[in-house]
Every structure is written in structure tokens, then in C-alpha cells.
């Protein structure tokens, strides 16, 4: 399964991966590749098997069947000096001081004590936690602890970043900081695998994505290819008046019920002209009408809309 | 096709050693930097120091009291139905013969006489009745001591021979020499050195077992496991933790022993510490080597068991439930110590010797007292080492593949059943 990838060998290669927990099959038969230098979105609703796949890839779970390789081989911790992994279940040694913990992980990633210490102090300065270096981690707020966790993840300039719901628990300011850091690493040539429910992040950062549902891939490829696969277009309209209910479209991203903007997802192959006509007949003043690609959020809703388990990260 | 990209990697052996040193350094440093560690560690020597001071003060007081009692002469009245006690002897020791027991007793009750001793016709059969003015629990013992001494000296005079007197009183010196397999055995002097390993084992288990139990629980409770497992081999982590715990234990033992050593070297007389004649100790190579190996193998087994329990249990609270019975099993041989020493071939002693959890203590006891044969020693040591290594590997496996079951107890069978298709072909 190449789905928009190149002919070169992938950095991450997963083939016919199956994962059972007792009688429950979490992943049925999953195959995909991630290439060096790309940012890869790993999408799916809660319980779809994303975290399980990452844990199996990193040797934390033993796969029931299949091949999961990083750089051509099964991952082992001794190969992890240039891997940055931000797990979904996060935590640090809460009773230890911030700098001690960061230096410890830096040492485990192969940095000298001095280098780990210098890097940590610079990072703390950048994320405005320089005054917390000697504070115990359990004295920090949740957001501050997330910053420390992120710092530990990106120490030693990792070549492969695996981020499992990286913005989970972040406020908007920290989320922006995180996105900036991911982009920096992306520009620096790092490969990023990102599990997220934030579709704007996917559209902003990812080169390719995979959508996982019920243990299998529902879509896989570049953003544009996936958008094309799911109907391709949406009508973006700026209007005055009340949008009427219709069998020709489904309104999403409505900014106001009486006027504003909305994305109209065409149903049953409804044309632009038919939709505009219906709006005008309903007394809506159409100020602007453009055809756009369907958003990843819309695709996500289409794929997982029938599941009540979908929750915001 | 271009070859697969590589993740930059440090040289394996160097990195493994580097990581082990890093884990040991981190675990050791963070433990001894904690205030509560020093509070717990210093509590025992402080208590010991307080006791030493109290003993020191008490001994000074006791010595003064004893001296005062020695200088004070006791005046007493007595009646002698046996006819053993010469009046001259009693007179020399402060005694005066009473004509009438009732009058003598009345004199004691009124306080005009300190004491009255009524010697029966047959002191071997009937008790000597002693009456005295109350001088307190301890000083009252003087009456009995003087009454006995008067009778003893009178009897010695009747016998008229110091040798017979010593023989009848059991006041003779005995030198015992015993042989085992044709060779002189060292007695208690030879038993004590190997038993020091038992003492060391006891101290190490008491001091470190709780920390061993919690060593892997911390990663689990703090949700650090996934971060750790992608940067560090779990074997390195666990071995590093065990080494650091051992170092922590050494620090604690040093702190505990310091006041004892200082007290023994500089204040032995004043603290009434026994004047141990170290030259009487015999260090026989065989029992010493067996003792050392039993200590190391026993430590290995218990460390492995405790780490495995920590890997299985979700929280320290739940792990503590298993901890109590485990400790009981380790030290249960002490309840049968008399049987272990007197009848090493008894079935229960044999069970204790070869049951892994009770084996170290039982075998070390028997080794000290010379009832553990070479064959038995080899079997026990080999069993403890092998079982320890197997359980340690199991503990690493449980930690590696089970410790991210953060909220629930790990199913060992399920964990073992999950055989990795890829790892098998690696």
C-alpha cells in the first residue's frame, strides 16, 4: 500500500498488522508506510486502534500478527536515541525536580550531562518555565507539566517524532507553541507521525493521512487524495437570512443561523445551480458562493458520524 | 529502491553501560536526596543513641548504688534449727542469734532490727525464711543474698576442703572440644561468623524489601512506563534499580552501624557492652563461602520476587497485601529454630530447607551450626540462583509487556501467552 508515497523505502513500514486482546480484535489487517521527512496524520475515533498501533510499532505491545518496522527493523529501545515519543498516557516522575527529570531523559537519549542540562535550561527558557527548573513536577500545573513532557520528547533532536494526541490537555497558547515546535522539526527534516482529533491541525501540518475505523483503514493517502475520495467538494456560502433545511445539501460550519457563512455539503450529486436556486427561493440573500474541497473535519464526520463514541480530545 | 533510512544509533554496548550508570545514578541520588529517607534512616541511630545515653547514665547510677551497698553492713538476727551456722561466722557477717523467732520478727516489724533469717532444720528440703525492713524492690534482694551467703560459707567450713566445695558448687572450669568427621569442630566460635550472613540477609530484607516492591510501581503509577520503554531496555532499568537499592541499603547499614561501632570502640565499659573476644571466632572457609553464596542467591531470589509483584500489581496499596504473607514465609523458619538446630533431619526442616522462600534462612541457620551438608548446600544455592534468574526475567517480561495496564492487575498468563510473531523471527 503506497497511497501517494514514493518508491523509496519507508521509514515506518506496517504490513498486515493484526492485534487481538483476548477475544477482541482491535486491529484486523492494517498496512501503511510513512516516509522520511513527511508528516503523517493517524486519524480515527476513540477506540479505533491508533494508540494500539503505535504501541505495537514501538514494541510496547506484542503484535498478534504482521510486520511493524522502523528503519527496516523491529524497534528496540536501544535504537530510540533519536526517537521522540509523546504517549497518550502521560506522566513524569512527579516527586522529582523538573531539571533532574529532563537531564535524566536526556542522558538516556545519549546526551552528556552538560549537554542535557544546557538543552533543558534553554528549552525551559523558551517555554517560560525557567523559574521552575528546581520545582518538583507535581507542583506544576497540568499545562506546565505538558510542556515538560514535550521537552523530554523532543530532546536530542529526534529524527522520528511520534505524537499521540499531542494537543490533549493543552490550552490554545500551548497548542500554538506545540504546533510551532512540530513545524520546526518538520522543517528540520524530521518525520512526524501524529495522532489527533484536531482536523485543522491535520490540514495545516500533515502531508498524508490514514483514517482508521473498526481496525481497518477507511482512507489513506495525501490530504487532497482523501478529500477527493470523499466527494471532493463543498459549497461555501456567505448569506443573509435563514438557511432552510434541504434535501440537496447538509450545512456544516454555520457561523450564524440568520446570516454569516456556512459550508454546504452537496447530497445526491446536487449541482451548484440547484443549491443556489433553492437558497434564493427560500428568501436567502447569497452574497458569495464558491466551490471548495471538502474539509477533513467533514470527512471525519462522514466516516465516524454513526459512532456516538466520538469525543473531543 | 533506495535503502531504508536509518535512525542514528549510539554504539550498543557503550549505550547499555551508559544507561545502566544513568539509571543507577538517578535512582540512588533521588533516594538519598529525599528528606524522608534521612528521617527514616537517622531515626534508628538516634533512638539507639538515646538508649545508649540512658544506659550510660543508668550504669553510672547503678555503679554508685552498688558501691554504696557494698560499703553498708547489714545487721540481722537469726535462728538456726539446722545447727550448721557457727555463731562466730554469723557474728563476723553482722548477725546476732535470736532466742525467740517471734521477738526477732517483731523487732523487724518495728524497725529495730533490719532483718531476721530463720534457717530450718533441713535447708535442702525446707525454705530459709527471710524477713526484712522494706528497702525497695532491688535493695530487698540483699537479704536473700546475705542469708544464702551465710549458709554457704558455713557449709564450706563444715566440708573443710576448697576442692570439694568447688566441686559440689559446680564452680569448675570446663574446656570442650568436639569433632566432626574426624576433625575438631569450632563450636560457637565457628558458628558465629557464618551466621553473620543471616544477620546481613535479615537486615537487607527488612531495609530494602519495601523499596524493591515499589521500585517498578512508581513508573506505573506515574504513567512514565511508555516513555521509559522507548528509551531504555527494561532489563537495564530493573537491574539499575536493584543496584541503586543495594547502594542505598549500604548507606543505611553504615548509618545504623556507626553508633554501635563508635559505642563499642570508645564507650564499651560505660555502656556495659559485652567484651567480645574476637580471637575466639573461627573463620572456616567452607561455611563462610556457603554463607556468602546463600546470602547472594537468597537476595537475588527475593529481589526478583518483589520486583515481579511490583510489575503485576497496579498500586503500592495492592502490592502491600501480598507483601505481608511473603515476609512471613521468608522468616517462618525462625519459629522452628529449636527444631532446625536440634533435629536437622526432621521432615519440616527438610521442607524449609528446600522450599524456595524459606530456604535462605533455614540453610543459613543450618550452615552456621554445621548441619548443612555440602550436597544440600549446592542444591539450595543452585536452586535459589536459578529460580532468582528465572523470576527476574519473568519480572522484566511482566514489566515490559504488562506495566502499561495502568489501572488493573496484570494477568501473568495472558502476558506470557502473547508470543510476538516478529520477535520470534528476529
Residue B266 lies in a domain: yes
Residues B318 and B250 placed together within one structural domain of the fold: yes
- CB of B75 closer than 8 Å to CB of B117: no
Q: Kindly state whether residues B122 and B195 are assigned to the same domain.
A: no
> Alpha-carbon dihedral of residues A202, A208, A212, A215, nearest 10 degrees?
-150
Measured between CA atoms, the residue of chain A closest to residue B1 is A8
Are residues B4 and A63, on separate chains, in Cβ contact within 8 Å?
A: no
ipTM greater than 0.85: no
End-of-domain residue from the set B169, B195, B221: B169
Co-location of B273 and B192 in the same domain: yes
Q: What Å distances lie between residue B181 and A94, B346, B370, B373, CA to CA? A: 61, 21, 11, 12
* A108 touches B at CB < 8 Å: yes
Contact with chain A for residue B26, Cβ under 8 A = yes
Helices assigned H by DSSP within B268-373: 285-312, 316-331, 337-342, 347-354, 359-368
Q: Is residue B38 part of a domain?
A: no
Cβ within 8 Å, pair B422-A64: no
- Asked if the Cβ–Cβ distance from A93 to B224 is below 8 Å, we say yes
Q: How far is A137 from chain B (nearest CA, A)?
A: 11
* pLDDT score at A308: 42
B216 and B140 in one domain?
Answer: no
Residue B106 and residue B214 in one domain: no
| Domain shared by B196 and B291, yes or no | yes
- 8 Å CB contact between A50 and A195: yes
Whether B1 is in a domain gets the answer no
Query: pLDDT by residue (tens digit) across A249-283?
Result: 888 777 777 778 888 888 888 888 999 999 999 88
* Domain at B144, CATH number: 3.40.190
Q: Which residues of chain B make contact with A36, given a CB cutoff of 8 A?
A: 5
Interface of B with A in 72-91 (CB under 8 A): none
User: B273 and B205, same structural domain?
Assistant: yes
The answer to whether the beta carbons of residues A90 and A146 sit under 8 Å apart is: yes
A94 contacts in B (CB within 8 Å)? 222
* Domain identity same for B354 and B394: yes
- Contacts B12 to A, Cβ<8 Å: 78
CB contact under 8 A, A71 and B7: yes
What does the pLDDT look like over A34-43, one tens digit per residue?
A: 999 999 999 8
**Pick from A79, A82, A94: CB nearest B222:** A94
Last residue of one domain, picked from the residues B169, B197, B217: B169
Residue B13 placed within a domain: no
Residue B15 lies in a domain: no
With beta carbons under 8 A apart, name residues in chain A contacting B18.
107, 110
Determine the residue of chain A that is closest to B9 in CA distance: A79
Beta-carbon separation of B8 and A81 below 8 A: yes
B164 and B190 assigned to the same domain: no
Domain-embedded: residue B246: yes
Are B156 and B194 within one domain? Answer: no
Domain shared by B328 and B383, yes or no:
yes
SS3 of A109, please? coil
Q: B76 with B107, same domain?
A: yes
Segment holding A85, helix H or strand E: strand A83-86
**Residue B11 lies inside a defined structural domain of this protein:** no
Residue B331 CB partners (closer than 8 Å, separation 6+): B202, B361
How many domains does chain B contain in total?
A: 2
Q: What is the pLDDT of residues B48-105, one digit of tens each?
A: 778 777 777 776 666 666 666 555 678 899 999 988 899 888 898 889 999 889 999 9
Q: Is the pTM of this model over 0.80?
A: no
Q: Is any Cβ of chain B less than 8 angstroms from the Cβ of A276? A: no
**A81/B232 touch (CB, cutoff 8 Å), yes or no:** no
Of B169, B194, B212, at which residue does a domain stop?
B169
Tell me the mean pLDDT per 10 residues along chain A, length 313: 59 92 86 93 87 90 91 84 84 91 92 93 93 94 88 90 85 83 89 88 88 86 82 84 87 78 84 90 90 80 59 31
Q: What's the number of CA atoms in the CB half-sphere (13 Å) around residue B282?
A: 14
Q: Which residue of A has its CA nearest to B2?
A: A8
Residue B97 lies in a domain: yes
Instruction: Please choose, from the candidates A67, A1, A62, A74, the residue with its C-alpha nearest in 3D space to the C-alpha of residue A26.
Output: A62
CB pairs under 8 A between A and B: 132
Domain of residue B278, residue span:
186-424
pLDDT in tens, B135-181: 887 778 888 888 988 988 888 888 888 788 878 777 778 777 777 66
Amino acid at each position: 500500500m503506497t497511497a501517494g508515497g514514493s518508491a523509496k523505502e519507508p521509514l515506518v513500514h506496517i504490513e498486515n498488522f493484526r492485534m487481538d486482546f483476548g477475544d477482541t480484535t482491535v486491529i484486523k489487517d492494517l498496512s501503511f508506510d510513512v516516509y522520511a521527512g513527511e508528516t503523517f496524520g493517524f486519524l480515527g475515533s476513540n477506540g479505533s486502534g491508533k494508540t494500539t498501533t503505535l504501541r505495537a510499532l514501538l514494541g510496547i505491545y506484542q503484535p498478534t500478527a504482521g510486520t511493524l518496522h522502523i528503519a527496516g527493523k523491529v524497534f528496540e529501545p536501544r535504537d530510540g536515541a533519536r526517537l521522540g515519543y509523546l504517549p497518550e498516557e502521560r506522566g513524569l516522575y512527579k516527586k522529582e525536580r523538573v531539571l533532574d527529570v529532563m537531564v535524566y531523559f536526556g542522558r538516556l537519549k545519549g546526551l552528556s550531562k552538560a549537554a542535557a542540562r544546557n538543552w533543558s535550561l534553554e528549552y525551559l527558557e523558551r517555554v517560560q518555565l525557567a523559574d521552575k527548573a528546581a520545582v518538583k513536577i507535581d507542583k506544576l500545573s497540568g499545562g506546565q507539566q505538558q510542556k515538560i513532557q514535550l521537552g523530554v520528547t523532543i530532546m536530542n533532536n529526534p529524527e522520528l517524532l511520534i505524537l499521540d494526541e499531542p494537543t490533549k490537555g493543552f490550552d490554545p497558547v500551548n497548542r500554538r507553541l506545540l504546533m510551532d515546535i512540530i513545524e520546526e522539526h518538520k522543517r528540520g527534516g524530521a518525520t512526524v507521525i501524529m495522532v489527533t482529533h484536531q482536523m485543522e491541525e491535520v490540514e495545516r501540518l500533515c502531508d498524508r493521512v490514514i483514517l482508521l475505523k473498526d481496525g481497518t483503514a477507511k482512507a489513506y493517502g495525501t490530504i487532497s487524495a482523501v478529500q477527493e475520495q470523499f466527494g471532493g467538494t463543498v459549497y461555501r456560502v456567505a448569506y443573509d437570512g435563514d438557511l432552510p433545511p434541504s434535501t440537496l445539501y447538509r450545512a456544516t460550519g454555520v457561523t450564524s443561523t440568520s446570516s454569516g457563512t456556512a459550508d454546504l455539503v452537496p447530497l445526491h450529486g446536487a449541482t451548484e445551480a440547484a443549491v443556489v436556486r433553492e437558497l434564493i427561493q427560500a428568501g436567502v440573500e447569497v452574497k458569495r458562493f464558491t466551490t471548495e474541497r471538502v474539509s477533513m473535519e467533514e470527512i471525519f464526520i462522514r466516516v465516524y458520524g454513526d459512532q456516538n463514541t466520538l469525543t473531543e480530545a | 529502491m533506495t535503502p531504508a533510512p536509518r535512525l542514528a544509533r549510539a554504539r550498543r554496548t557503550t549505550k547499555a553501560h551508559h544507561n545502566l550508570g544513568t539509571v543507577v545514578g538517578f535512582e540512588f541520588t533521588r533516594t538519598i536526596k529525599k528528606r524522608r529517607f534521612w528521617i527514616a534512616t537517622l531515626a534508628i541511630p538516634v533512638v539507639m543513641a538515646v538508649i545508649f545515653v540512658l544506659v550510660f547514665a543508668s550504669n553510672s547510677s547503678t555503679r554508685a548504688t552498688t558501691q554504696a551497698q557494698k560499703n553498708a553492713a547489714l545487721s540481722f538476727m537469726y535462728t538456726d534449727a539446722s545447727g550448721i551456722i557457727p555463731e562466730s561466722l554469723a557474728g563476723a557477717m553482722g548477725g546476732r542469734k535470736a532466742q525467740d523467732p517471734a521477738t526477732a520478727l517483731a523487732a523487724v516489724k518495728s524497725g529495730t532490727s533490719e532483718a531476721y533469717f530463720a534457717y530450718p532444720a533441713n535447708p535442702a528440703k525446707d525454705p530459709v525464711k527471710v524477713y526484712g525492713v522494706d528497702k525497695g524492690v532491688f535493695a530487698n534482694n540483699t537479704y536473700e543474698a546475705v542469708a544464702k551467703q551465710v549458709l554457704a560459707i558455713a557449709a564450706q567450713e563444715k566440708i573443710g576442703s576448697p576442692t570439694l566445695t568447688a566441686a559440689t558448687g559446680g564452680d569448675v572450669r570446663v574446656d570442650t572440644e568436639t569433632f566432626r568427621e574426624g576433625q575438631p569442630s569450632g563450636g560457637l566460635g565457628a558458628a558465629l561468623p557464618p551466621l553473620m550472613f543471616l544477620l546481613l540477609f535479615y537486615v537487607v530484607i527488612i531495609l530494602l524489601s519495601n523499596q524493591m516492591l515499589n521500585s517498578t510501581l512508581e513508573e506505573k503509577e506515574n504513567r512514565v512506563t511508555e516513555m521509559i520503554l522507548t528509551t531504555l531496555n527494561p532489563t537495564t532499568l530493573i537491574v539499575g534499580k536493584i543496584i541503586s537499592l543495594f547502594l542505598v541499603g549500604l548507606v543505611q547499614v553504615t548509618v545504623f552501624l556507626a553508633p554501635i561501632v563508635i559505642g563499642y570502640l570508645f564507650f564499651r565499659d560505660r555502656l556495659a557492652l559485652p567484651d567480645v573476644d574476637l580471637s575466639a571466632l573461627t573463620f572456616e572457609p567452607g561455611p563462610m563461602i556457603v554463607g556468602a553464596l546463600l546470602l547472594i542467591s537468597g537476595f537475588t531470589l527475593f529481589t526478583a520476587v518483589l520486583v515481579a509483584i511490583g510489575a503485576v500489581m497496579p498500586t503500592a496499596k495492592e502490592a502491600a497485601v501480598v507483601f505481608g504473607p511473603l515476609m512471613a514465609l521468608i522468616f517462618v523458619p525462625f519459629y522452628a529454630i529449636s527444631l532446625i538446630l536440634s533435629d536437622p533431619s526432621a521432615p519440616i526442616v527438610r521442607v524449609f530447607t528446600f522450599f524456595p522462600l524459606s530456604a535462605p534462612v533455614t540453610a543459613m541457620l543450618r550452615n552456621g551450626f554445621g548441619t548443612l551438608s555440602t550436597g544440600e548446600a549446592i542444591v539450595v544455592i543452585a536452586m535459589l540462583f536459578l529460580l532468582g534468574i528465572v523470576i527476574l526475567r519473568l519480572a522484566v517480561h511482566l514489566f515490559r509487556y504488562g506495566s502499561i495496564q495502568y489501572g488493573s492487575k496484570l494477568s501473568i498468563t495472558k502476558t506470557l501467552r502473547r508470543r510476538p510473531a516478529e520477535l520470534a523471527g528476529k
